[in-house]
Amino acid sequence: MTDQSKEYTEVPEQNPVLESLERPGVPALDEVLGKPFKVLDDGFIRVIDYMGSDESIVQAARVSYGKGTKKVHEDRGLIRYLMRHHHTTPFEMCEIKFHVRVPMDCWRQWIRHRTANVNEYSTRYSVAIDSAQTTQHSEWRLQATGNRQGSAGFAGGNEGKTLTEKERYLQSLAREVYEERLNMGIAREQARKDLPLSTYTEAYWKVDLHNLLHFLALRMDPHAQEEIRRYSEIIGNEIVAKWCPFTWEAFMDYRVNAANLTRLEMEVLTALTQNKTREAIELGKKFNWLKEDGTPKKNRERAEFEDKLNNLGIKAPW
Ligand SMILES: Cc1cc2nc3c(=O)[nH]c(=O)nc-3n(C[C@H](O)[C@H](O)[C@H](O)COP(=O)(O)OP(=O)(O)OC[C@H]3O[C@@H](n4cnc5c(N)ncnc54)[C@H](O)[C@@H]3O)c2cc1C
């Protein structure tokens, strides 16, 4: 009979010598471990635990090069290469666990990101957190006209004052009715039904770095709602930037502050760089961005292209 336990305990001689390991840590992140970053009026986000660092990403990427491969890139260069080429799995080697306190309407957007592990405070089991997000007079945003999902500008001072007073009244009434129900012995799971979406909830949220960056790309974007952006910006600038600085730098360079050009955009841009303005306009008509007389149509794709041109310092030819 062969001794099978040997397979697991003995490293065959032909294997390379395995490096000795120390538990990896990031001192800059350790410094803020457990410390709450305040967000909104009564929210916070804090790091509970983490695994990995820029080095772990590099380490994982190099394993995939196979035995015998020499170290060909510096760590920073390799991370930037991985980011540029969407070689995403090495970024999944890093994980982070947050404790967040967030208004329920914001949490509802947050929880749509399915690639995380979540445990939320239960208002069936416990009494709902006695805190609701409040809005200052000057913070009432007006509905945007160009973007149905967005806001633009602020309500006037007097309107803002009235809105804030009514908010306070509504929130305290909702709380009072909730507590009255509890005092009457109504189950917490039912008593909560009329609590407003501004009520704060708390959760533990664990995610790997790849999926966290995806979350940040969507939720730091100007199209995301202001409230969730405030959390995302702190996660990005205060936490990920300390935790994995090379990754953060590459993410900002190749995702956040970068642009993608579609085939249509490339064709128009090529014509423009060759001073073929008429051709660029004909292409605009063909793509349904322009009317027959060459003036702009109401078209989102054209507007997005114009934004990209603007960022490049190029004037649209129409
Ligand atoms: C500005 C903005 C506006 C939005 N508006 C709306 C809205 O009006 N209504 C609405 O319902 N949602 C809306 N969303 C939510 C959005 O549709 C996504 O649900 C959310 O952003 C999470 O993105 P995700 O699915 O890519 O992330 P994750 O759930 O973290 O998934 C990450 C990636 O994993 C893959 N994946 C995960 N689960 C699956 C699956 N089951 N099948 C296949 N692939 C999977 C996908 O590639 C996905 O991109 C909005 C989001 C933003 C940023």
Which strand (E) or helix (H) includes residue 179?
Answer: helix 157-183
> Tokens 């600085």 correspond to what residue?
245
Q: What count of residues does the chain have?
A: 318
Residue range 57-66, pLDDT digits in tens: 998 998 766 5
Q: Is 31's pLDDT higher than 70?
A: yes
Contact 105, 269 (CB under 8 A): no
Residue range 41-57, pLDDT digits in tens: 999 999 999 999 999 99
pLDDT at residue 155 in the model? 85
Residue range 116-174, pLDDT digits in tens: 999 999 999 999 999 999 999 999 998 888 777 788 888 888 899 999 999 999 999 99
pLDDT at residue 311 in the model? 93
Between these two residues, 74 and 223, which has the higher pLDDT value?
Answer: 223
Q: Which protein residue has the closest C-alpha to ligand 1 atom 1?
A: 224
Pocket test for ligand 1, best of 107, 110, 115 (most atoms within 8 A of CB): 115
Q: For residue 10, which amino acid is it?
A: E
Establish whether residue 134 lines the binding site of ligand 1, counting it when its CB lies within 6 angstroms of any ligand atom: no
Task: Please state the atom number of ligand 1 nearest to the C-alpha of residue 218.
Answer: 53
Crossing angle of helices 277-286/263-273, nearest 10°?
Answer: 160
At the topology level, CATH places domain 21-124+200-256 in Gyrase A; domain 2 (3.30.1360)
pTM above threshold 0.85? yes
Q: Is 73's pLDDT higher than 70?
A: no
Contact 245, 254 (CB under 8 A): no
pLDDT at residue 90 in the model? 96
> Tokens 């945003």 correspond to what residue?
141
Q: Which protein residue has the closest C-alpha to ligand 1 atom 16?
A: 112
Mean pLDDT score, 31-46: 97
Contact 131, 199 (CB under 8 A): yes
List the chain domain ranges.
21-124+200-256, 137-194, 263-311
Establish whether residue 214 lines the binding site of ligand 1, counting it when its CB lies within 6 angstroms of any ligand atom: yes
| Nearest by Cα to 51 from 212, 209, 205 | 209
218 C-alpha vs ligand 1 centroid, how far in Å?
9
Q: For residue 98, which amino acid is it?
A: F
Task: Please state the atom number of ligand 1 nearest to the C-alpha of residue 219.
Answer: 53
User: Distance (Å, rounded) from C-alpha 261 to C-alpha 272?
Assistant: 14
204 C-alpha vs ligand 1 centroid, how far in Å?
20
The set of catalytic residues is 219
Establish whether residue 224 lines the binding site of ligand 1, counting it when its CB lies within 6 angstroms of any ligand atom: yes
User: Distance (Å, rounded) from C-alpha 209 to C-alpha 55?
Assistant: 13
User: Distance (Å, rounded) from C-alpha 157 to C-alpha 34?
Assistant: 38
Establish whether residue 223 lines the binding site of ligand 1, counting it when its CB lies within 6 angstroms of any ligand atom: yes
User: Distance (Å, rounded) from C-alpha 255 to C-alpha 213?
Assistant: 9
Q: Which protein residue has the closest C-alpha to ligand 1 atom 23?
A: 113
Q: Which protein residue has the closest C-alpha to ligand 1 atom 15?
A: 112
Residue range 195-248, pLDDT digits in tens: 999 999 999 999 999 999 999 999 999 999 999 999 999 999 999 999 999 999
Report the b/e string of 197-226 with b at 16+ CB within 10 A. ebbbbebbbbbbbbbbbbbbeebbeeebee
Query: What three-state secondary structure class fits 105?
Result: helix
Contact 218, 125 (CB under 8 A): no
pLDDT at residue 15 in the model? 61
216 C-alpha vs ligand 1 centroid, how far in Å?
12
Pocket test for ligand 1, best of 89, 105, 112 (most atoms within 8 A of CB): 112
Contact 102, 199 (CB under 8 A): no
Establish whether residue 310 lines the binding site of ligand 1, counting it when its CB lies within 6 angstroms of any ligand atom: no
Query: Taking all residues of the chain, what is their mean pLDDT, rounded to a whole number?
Result: 91
Residue range 282-310, pLDDT digits in tens: 999 999 999 999 999 999 999 999 999 99
E strands, 28-121, in order: 37-39, 43-51, 95-103, 116-120
- Tell me the pLDDT band of 74, cut-offs 50, 70 and 90: confident
pLDDT at residue 69 in the model? 47
Between these two residues, 4 and 264, which has the higher pLDDT value?
Answer: 264
- Tell me the pLDDT band of 67, cut-offs 50, 70 and 90: very low
234 C-alpha vs ligand 1 centroid, how far in Å?
21
Contact 67, 16 (CB under 8 A): yes
Task: Please state the atom number of ligand 1 nearest to the C-alpha of residue 115.
Answer: 30
Residue range 89-105, pLDDT digits in tens: 999 999 999 999 999 99
pLDDT at residue 72 in the model? 46
